[in-house]
Amino acid sequence: MPRRRKVKCDGAKPICGACSRSLGTFSDCEYAEAGRSQTQIMEETIALIESRIRELESPESPNHSVTLQNPYPLAGLSTSAVSSGMNINMDMFLGSVAWAQPPAYDAEPPAAIMQALAHTFVHHSTEIGGFLDTARLLEAVDHPDADARPIPALMVAVYLWGIRLSDSAEFNDYEGLYLSRAVDQAAQSLPLDRPRKVLQKIQAEILLAYYFFSKGRNIEGRYHTSIAVGLVLGSQLHKYGGSEQAALVAPSDIPFNSPGFTIDTPWPSDTYGDIALQPIPLSKGTIQKFLREPAAAEGRSNKAFLAKAAVLLERASYLHSQYRPDAPENEAAGLKNGIPILDNVIGGYLASGLPRLDQAFNPSDRMNITLAHTIIHAARIKLQSIRVLGCDVASRKKVLQAAGGMLEVINQSRVQDAEFVNPIFGHLWTICALAYISEIGRMRSGDSVADVTENHLLQNVDKLVKLVGKFADRFCWKGEGIFVPCMNYSLNANHDAHNKACWKQLKQKGLISEFSLEEALRV
């Protein structure tokens, strides 16, 4: 039954009418006699993994026996073909090599096809948030020693992304097959005494999480994210280069609030060369030090800029999640004191910690710096929105300034000209659009902020809607992440009857989430 949405079920089998008309969103059609659905199985598996992570964080807990099971029946993971553009001419790799018919599940594709998919992934990896050393990856793929090659889980994930980013209709036909293979390979166990293999396992899980998030399949994305986090903590990668203990040892218990959980790993570098020949600098309290001195010299690589921005967004989101109008006085006081402290850190990092966008960058560096700036502005919006909920006028102005800063980043970086973007951009741009929409709602209620007109805000929202819309189909941004149809409905008040009909149709098709921007306008 379509129980996850408030949709009436007509009882038709095997799939009810509401689900059959949903364009895939209600594909998890659940009748009790059919047993647990794939979504239920996935949710239970995520709960088990999160329980295991909590167990690692709190070894004193008495419940220490959790068995993880593969939540994926391979036959149920076929996905539809995805068509997208690509600058690489696939014929330069393939020649006349092609699959005449879909290969068997365990069949290896021709070497030329694997090479083409790997190069496609490498070509676009920085645009979608790539973190692998692509030169080392391509070199390792053809290594004569099989033990020196990347593990199958990583390579199949790379091939899957190559298909996802390819403009070849023939390749797209095999996306479902390679998705099944990638998930199956990721579920294989590895010896924990092989550090490089464990690291590649983590990389494979991250690529799979990226893939599912880009497809709008957030439950599966969370599942693979949880696996990656568990491996990182269990292997003590957060201690890599730390003064207390080495990383990538056998998994151990790590209390979340203990000194053992403190991240001592140095900020990442963009190029490591031969890691085995480079001494890892000692580090201690890496994040805590950054929060105290946001403009410090440590961590000046593009990857470090992104990591620092992500830390600030996480802190802002955490504080935002703690807000309650009826919170006890001590909790409210702690939140009140924490907001200006974090805001100063964000301001300091934005002013002198991040490179300016008008500096000369190569295309991949520019995309990373653009993302870092976008994350920082989103962090300030999230943080200052806490006070906005309490009707603080100064914070409303800071929210609008941060939203304007994000639009300026878009204009300077020309991110709209990119062929592919990191899927997280959609979420960040939506944070910005919702900030504008919330302010429009207050203005329509007679609560206006000086020097800002409703028409100006509407124009900014329109820019964001068009930008998100350009990438929405390619990256399946919908549901809880993107609200483009809602924006079109809520902001065009002059065609109420028409928009109500469109709203109803979009909800029936499953193209919007339960969240309504009408609710945002009432904030």
The predicted pLDDT at position 41 comes to 62
The predicted pLDDT at position 473 comes to 62
How many residues in the chain? 523
Q: Helix crossing, 424-444 with 484-491: angle to 10°?
A: 20
pLDDT above 50 for 478? no
pLDDT above 60 for 93? no
Helix (H, G, I), strand (E, B), or coil: what is residue 1? coil
Closest CA to 351 of 313, 294, 418: 294
Tell me whether the omega of the peptide bond preceding residue 14 falls within 30 degrees of 0, making it cis: yes
Interval 362-378 mean pLDDT: 89
Which stretch, 122-126, 138-142, 379-383, has highest mean pLDDT? 379-383
pLDDT band at 40 (very low <50, low <70, confident <90, very high): low
* Average pLDDT score, the chain: 71
Interval 506-513 mean pLDDT: 44
Per-residue DSSP letter, 352: I
pLDDT band at 379 (very low <50, low <70, confident <90, very high): very high
Interval 457-471 mean pLDDT: 83
75 burial (CB, 10 Å; 0-12 / 13-18 / 19+) is exposed
pLDDT above 60 for 129? yes
Radius of gyration of the chain from Cα atoms?
24
285, 298, 379, 409, 461 from 342: Cα distances, Å: 17, 19, 10, 22, 27
Task: Say which residue, 441 or 111, is predicted with more confidence.
Answer: 441
Task: Say which residue, 359 or 12, is predicted with more confidence.
Answer: 359
Per-residue DSSP letter, 283: B
The predicted pLDDT at position 368 comes to 87
Task: Say which residue, 72 or 334, is predicted with more confidence.
Answer: 334
Ranking 194-203, 236-245, 289-298, 497-506 by mean pLDDT, the lowest is 497-506
pLDDT band at 514 (very low <50, low <70, confident <90, very high): very low
pLDDT band at 74 (very low <50, low <70, confident <90, very high): very low
pLDDT above 60 for 294? yes
How far is residue 464's CA from residue 516's CA, in Å, rounded to a whole number? 17
DSSP assignment of 152-209 equals: HHHHHHHHHHHHHT---HHHHTTHHHHHHHHHHHHTS---TT-HHHHHHHHHHHHHHH
pLDDT above 50 for 90? no
Tens of pLDDT, residue by residue over 381-427, are: 999 988 877 667 888 899 999 999 999 999 998 888 887 788 788 88
The predicted pLDDT at position 517 comes to 40
pLDDT above 70 for 159? yes
Task: Say which residue, 84 or 344, is predicted with more confidence.
Answer: 344
Interval 132-140 mean pLDDT: 79
At 86, the amino acid letter reads: M
* Block residue for tokens 């056998």: 250
At 423, the amino acid letter reads: P
**pTM greater than the 0.85 cutoff:** no
Which stretch, 41-55, 356-370, 492-506, has highest mean pLDDT? 356-370
> In the beta sheet, which residues pair with residue 283?
242
Which residue ranges make up each domain of the chain?
A: 1-35, 38-239, 303-521
How far is residue 258's CA from residue 238's CA, in Å, rounded to a whole number? 13
The predicted pLDDT at position 347 comes to 92
Closest CA to 491 of 438, 449, 447: 438
pLDDT above 80 for 273? no
Closest CA to 491 of 453, 446, 423, 441: 441
pLDDT above 60 for 518? no
What's the maximum distance between 2 C-alpha atoms anywhere in the chain? 72
How far is residue 212's CA from residue 322's CA, in Å, rounded to a whole number? 28
Tens of pLDDT, residue by residue over 238-262, are: 776 655 544 444 333 333 344 445 7
The predicted pLDDT at position 77 comes to 31
How far is residue 214's CA from residue 192's CA, in Å, rounded to a whole number? 30
> In the beta sheet, which residues pair with residue 242?
283
How far is residue 475's CA from residue 470's CA, in Å, rounded to a whole number? 10
